[in-house]
Amino acid sequence: MQRLFVALQYLLPQRLLTRIAGALARNEALAGLLIRLFIRRYRVDMSEARDPDPASYRCFNEFFTRRLKEDARPLERREGAVLCPADGALSQSGTIGEMLVQAKGIEFDTTRLLGGDKALARELVGGSFMTIYLSPRDYHRIHLPLAGRLLQSRYLPGKLFSVDDASTALIPGLFCRNERLVSVFDGDCGRFVVVMVGAMIVAGIRTVWDKAGSPCKAEQSFLDQDLRFVAGEEMGRFQLGSTVILLFPPGAVEFEAGLAPGDSLRMGRSIGRLSK
């Protein structure tokens, strides 16, 4: 069944399905029904939400990107802690080379992931990466793993394959092929990167620096601005979920011992520490 599902994705009209899903997610008349069905299907814990009443959300998008209570995701306060940017499951982690591990037996090109930025890719070789998969039931706002100044964000159009386990294991170069947003920050560890990867029926990737509130569709430089974030601060959100990839420069970060693919992660917990 998994191979059939993956094969169908090559044939399905990905963007048409995504536009239909986006229209449904914005529809206020269907909001109550869609939200109730989703909560039941994925067993969403609404007690964590700032507004726990499903009927209070005007549309499915509002519900899906709901904020949590202030104390729902306490941040690790240990000095030098690298914070998990999102709720999800650890997919892969390891050392950055010219290729990155996507799944067992499958790799993808680092430079291609970064939109062809060879200089940035060379700078990151020998560093550390971590890939986190967000399931439908997870909290879908993305936060900064470290304090940093935003230097650049680059929207890269692409396919909209699913990023579930089956697709990750069977579609070569999945994260390089899908639509994504590459954000580069300068922090105490040097330049680090947060990649938000889109997927089928993801209605958009939005950032807090996009004042218009519309999905990211351009490359932006912030070198002439002093746009700084603290560790754990929100940077963006998915309208329907996907994957986040973190990339840190050589010698900058040591991930927590014992973390393994499949482990459940929570936004704000420590996933590592700064090496210097």
Point out the catalytic residue in the list 91, 162, 167, 242: 242
The total of other beta-carbon atoms located within 10 Å of residue 261's CB is 15
> DSSP secondary-structure letter at 152?
E
Can you say whether residue 214 is alpha, beta or left, with left for phi > 0 and alpha for psi between -120 and 50 degrees? beta
Rounded-to-5 percentages of helix, strand, coil across the chain: 25, 30, 45
- For residue 82, give the nearest of 71, 93, 98 by alpha carbon: 93
- For residue 71, give the nearest of 268, 271, 270, 273 by alpha carbon: 268
Point out the catalytic residue in the list 128, 138, 140, 143: 143
The total of other beta-carbon atoms located within 10 Å of residue 140's CB is 22
- For residue 239, give the nearest of 200, 206, 194 by alpha carbon: 206
Q: CA 128, CA 97: separation in Å to the nearest integer?
A: 9
Annotation marks residue 87 as catalytic: yes
Annotation marks residue 242 as catalytic: yes
Starting at the edge strand found earlier in the chain, the sheet holding 204-207 runs: 141-143, 234-239, 204-207
> Is 177 within 8 Å of 159 (Cβ atoms)?
yes
Tell me the one-letter amino acid at 231.
A
> Is 83 within 8 Å of 148 (Cβ atoms)?
no
**Catalytic residue IDs:** 87, 143, 242
